[in-house]
Structure 1
């Protein structure tokens, strides 16, 4: 028989084991309860949504999101922030929607949900309200702040360019009367510094000669889009490539050689092998620098999308003189966060990624682009939308992206994959007038070697000298178009503007030595207040 001491020890061990089991079950049950509680909150929020109690739903989702964050369940966290943002939209609290979609994007990225993250950022950007203030100044005061020292690069200003070969109003390919180098400036009212010409690698040089002679006669440069349509394998250091380089070099005109553009997109035959692409780009750069050292610069020019693989194709600073980008906008309501059939995207901000990646090292070149005046899928006229976006682009570019040194408009209504792109200025009088008004800004240059007499300094969050200034703004809101912007200081209206870029003349002298708050108010075409932004500026003595 077991003695009493042994019985007591055995009983003690059993008691301890029982307590441990009870504690374990309690933890499990607590976790189950918590799990049930958090998903219970989600269900409660969904019921409140059905009752259109969006504020109540937001409160429940916020409780749930705290639990998911604590448990590092980032996918669920992102989902909660998406729902919170969606409910703020229904309450028409768009700034709150934006901040929650930004959090959705951040947590989706932590959960390695890349596409979810990108989609959330796109939604947020479409409804994001911003206001940035700039003053116009003499370009001499800016000096070389925006200058890279590249060949043909203006210190300040952007070379004006176009692709106009397919516009029958400005170019007759049969007899050259008119030729686009004269026809396009007659149409638009301003001489352009350069024209884009596509050239298929392997074709006879004779196809180039007339374009070169016309450019020489009219004092314009060429952007030569050299495209190896049979693939990269045909590009070799041989008699053909060196002969082409000598032909271009002997022309004497400034040539921006854009070799195998949009390589990041799967629609071109030179896509898919970054290593091979870099090898061939470097080869072409080497040959042209040997055979045409004085009048050719190498332009590396991806499309703005997709973004994830752009840097994979970069040949290196030693081989690239300018960085280009294709920049198009076609009306697309599919991503409208408000589901009202609008395109709320910003054309001017679409190449922001490439600018941030390369503008510190190289001058940036909008190598081709435009804003379509038709919604092609529905054959709906979107002229008014395109007019606004065009004016906004050319008005805002010098302020937001001063290291862009060339801008080419794609003047064509061309058919690609049975989807016509409507950019032809001669086919739309309103868009043509918007373009003419926009390029009248002296920032846009008519010749290589010209310099802009004006530049722009951002004063948002910075300083401005006391005195009278010509102030403009980049104002973006959830409304795709604005009609009026007002400025207030100290509760008093100091300026009202009714056209882009919302320019007013303000005397900052009374605020000398102070940090002031400039209240920017934006209104749509029904005179409805769309957004109010505070911008802080220090006025120097």
Structure 2
């Protein structure tokens, strides 16, 4: 009996080994392609899933990646985007193994644009966090972020001929809230007296300046000489606190001080930092501020912790549908998450901030109005930044519709009432500070399985990312019961956790689009103490 059973097992194993070896993978692939052409995507997926493992067995990673790409594409056509993301992740993995680096990067980017996730936060007092989010740098608040702007090109808030209004008065009047600092540009080689009116108005208004010093003739003119020493002494004597942003966006080839050899840039930054640290130690913070892109070279230009007081970044978003993985003419990117790289690289050691930036309300290539999209992205940014990036310490809005290039960019608040109202609502959050020395009374802590929430009624907010460019509603469900429904960012609700004391629960977060269609369902495991 046992001999017969062994014979059956051997025969069965041999049959399936032969079957696998004999599988006509390319024949099945052609069948899948035909099903695709007929719009039978679920059936095509089954065929691709049948042959993808065969390619993996043979370590034909490029072919396997091609199957997972097609599976992902078909799931996207079926609007099963979470499944699409799973398979595009596999495409990225196996193109990487096949040394097809650029294809791997593209697949990962495609997956990330449609990836859904949810993170929960509980509002707490800043005093409860103490110095958790501070570095002890000059001008740095323990908690909260200064708000600032570049506003001298907005005619509604600034008249350069009469100084009535001047942006230090006009911009707070426009936005309904005082701003802690203003960005102005300054050409290296000129005396400080060339911007005397800016210095005088900043002193009178009690605001700081972010001085964007630009060596327009290149870095060769930057020396530890009488000019630089005198500039530093004049700023020290000005009575104005200054964020000195020297030669920003140095990683971009569009600025005249860009150096293909980062060592040359680092040498010049360190010269400027040394002079200002010696001559103006009490009222100047040295700012190193690359552009967010290209990311790959940013770290090469870092001058060192001893030379840098604050790290800034230029952060702009302009509607761009060309990278839409669904080919539906949408921009699914996150303005907020473009800050992620700089934050992760430097926030543990320096105060980080958006030294200039904004979300444009026009698609310039097509002259299409994208106000609603821009307002959502703006609100999402300001609402979620305190939760995701609590060590951010300032945000400057670029209030202008001007640009040196032919491609005008549209960020001016006074030119778009919806954008202005969105900005007013965004900066009303007490996390955003109106003056140097101010501190935020509120802070946010993540809640999850490792970071418990107290067993009482708590003010909960969420960061919800989905494939949909915008969300109109979020619901929270615990144990099959909907406990809150909210319709505005950052999806803040009062939730009573007392019934779940000592338990681990799933908070189910559902997001809906503007047509009230369900976009995603995410479970967040939460411990209740």
The two structures share one fold, judged by TM-score above 0.5: yes
CA contact (8 A) 2:477 2:509 kept: yes
Q: Deviation digits for residues 113-153 of structure 1, max 9, x if unmatched?
A: 33322222221122111111111111111111111111111
Q: Give the whole-Å Cα distance in 2 for the aligned partners of 1:435 and 1:347.
A: 15
What is residue 371 of structure 2 aligned with on the other side? 383
Local SS of the residue matching 1:407: strand
Which shows bigger deviation, 110-119 or 288-297? 110-119
CA contact (8 A) 2:448 2:527 kept: no
Select the structure of larger CA radius of gyration.
1
Number of paired residues?
A: 510
What is residue 321 of structure 1 aligned with on the other side? 309
What is residue 56 of structure 2 aligned with on the other side? 69
Q: Deviation digits for residues 145-195 of structure 1, max 9, x if unmatched?
A: 111111111111001111001101101111211111111000000000011
The answer as to 2:518 corresponding to 1:533 is no
What is residue 318 of structure 2 aligned with on the other side? 330
Q: CA deviation at 1:35?
A: 11
Structure 1 segment 233-312 matched on structure 2, within 5 A = 233-271=220-258, 272-312=260-300
Selected match of 2:468 from 464, 468, 479: 479
Structure 1 segment 365-380 matched on structure 2, within 5 A = 365-380=353-368
Q: Give the whole-Å Cα distance in 2 for the aligned partners of 1:336 and 1:232.
A: 39
Selected match of 1:158 from 145, 156, 159: 145
What is residue 102 of structure 1 aligned with on the other side? 89
Q: Give the whole-Å Cα distance in 2 for the aligned partners of 1:491 and 1:49.
A: 38
Selected match of 1:120 from 77, 102, 107: 107
Q: CA deviation at 1:278?
A: 0.7
Q: CA deviation at 1:44?
A: 2.8
Q: Give the whole-Å Cα distance in 2 for the aligned partners of 1:334 and 1:98.
A: 19
Q: Give the whole-Å Cα distance in 2 for the aligned partners of 1:302 and 1:161.
A: 18
Structure 1 segment 211-230 matched on structure 2, within 5 A = 211-230=198-217
Q: CA deviation at 1:103?
A: 2.1
Q: CA deviation at 1:292?
A: 0.8
What is residue 419 of structure 2 aligned with on the other side? 431
Which shows bigger deviation, 272-281 or 247-256? 247-256
Structure 1 segment 426-465 matched on structure 2, within 5 A = 426-461=414-449, 462-465=451-454
What is residue 54 of structure 1 aligned with on the other side? 41
Selected match of 2:341 from 353, 361, 367: 353
- TM-score if structure 2 supplies the norm length? 0.93
Q: Deviation digits for residues 390-441 of structure 1, max 9, x if unmatched?
A: 1111100000110110100000001342111000000000100000011000
CA contact (8 A) 2:55 2:64 kept: yes
Q: Deviation digits for residues 33-73 of structure 1, max 9, x if unmatched?
A: 96994433433322221122212222232333323333333
Q: Deviation digits for residues 240-281 of structure 1, max 9, x if unmatched?
A: 111111111111322111111111111112222201011111
Q: Give the whole-Å Cα distance in 2 for the aligned partners of 1:34 and 1:263.
A: 56
Selected match of 1:81 from 68, 89, 98: 68
Local SS of the residue matching 1:421: coil
**In the superposition, relative to structure 1, how do residues 170 and 69 fare at CA in structure 2: closer, same or farther (>3 Å)?**
same
Local SS of the residue matching 2:336: coil
Local SS of the residue matching 1:213: helix
What is residue 501 of structure 2 aligned with on the other side? 512
Q: Give the whole-Å Cα distance in 2 for the aligned partners of 1:114 and 1:262.
A: 27
What is residue 6 of structure 1 aligned with on the other side? none
Local SS of the residue matching 1:251: coil
Q: Give the whole-Å Cα distance in 2 for the aligned partners of 1:343 and 1:98.
A: 17
Local SS of the residue matching 1:351: helix
What is residue 165 of structure 2 aligned with on the other side? 178
Q: Deviation digits for residues 273-316 of structure 1, max 9, x if unmatched?
A: 20101111111111111111111111111111111111111111
Selected match of 2:410 from 422, 427, 444: 422
The answer as to 2:389 corresponding to 1:401 is yes
Q: Give the whole-Å Cα distance in 2 for the aligned partners of 1:191 and 1:364.
A: 21
Q: Give the whole-Å Cα distance in 2 for the aligned partners of 1:39 and 1:200.
A: 64
What is residue 8 of structure 1 aligned with on the other side? none
The answer as to 2:190 corresponding to 1:203 is yes
Local SS of the residue matching 1:436: helix
CA contact (8 A) 2:202 2:209 kept: yes
Q: Deviation digits for residues 468-509 of structure 1, max 9, x if unmatched?
A: 111111111111111111111111111110111111101111
Q: Deviation digits for residues 349-385 of structure 1, max 9, x if unmatched?
A: 1121111111111111100000000011110111111
Which shows bigger deviation, 483-492 or 184-193? 483-492
RMSD of aligned residue pairs (Cα, Å): 1.7
Q: Deviation digits for residues 518-539 of structure 1, max 9, x if unmatched?
A: 1111111111111111111111
Which shows bigger deviation, 63-72 or 126-135? 63-72
Local SS of the residue matching 1:463: coil
Q: Give the whole-Å Cα distance in 1 for the aligned partners of 2:357 and 2:204.
A: 26
Local SS of the residue matching 1:269: coil
Please, which runs of 5 or more residues in structure 2 have no aligned partner? 1-16
Which shows bigger deviation, 465-474 or 63-72? 63-72
CA contact (8 A) 2:455 2:500 kept: yes
**In the superposition, relative to structure 1, how do residues 162 and 112 fare at CA in structure 2: closer, same or farther (>3 Å)?**
farther
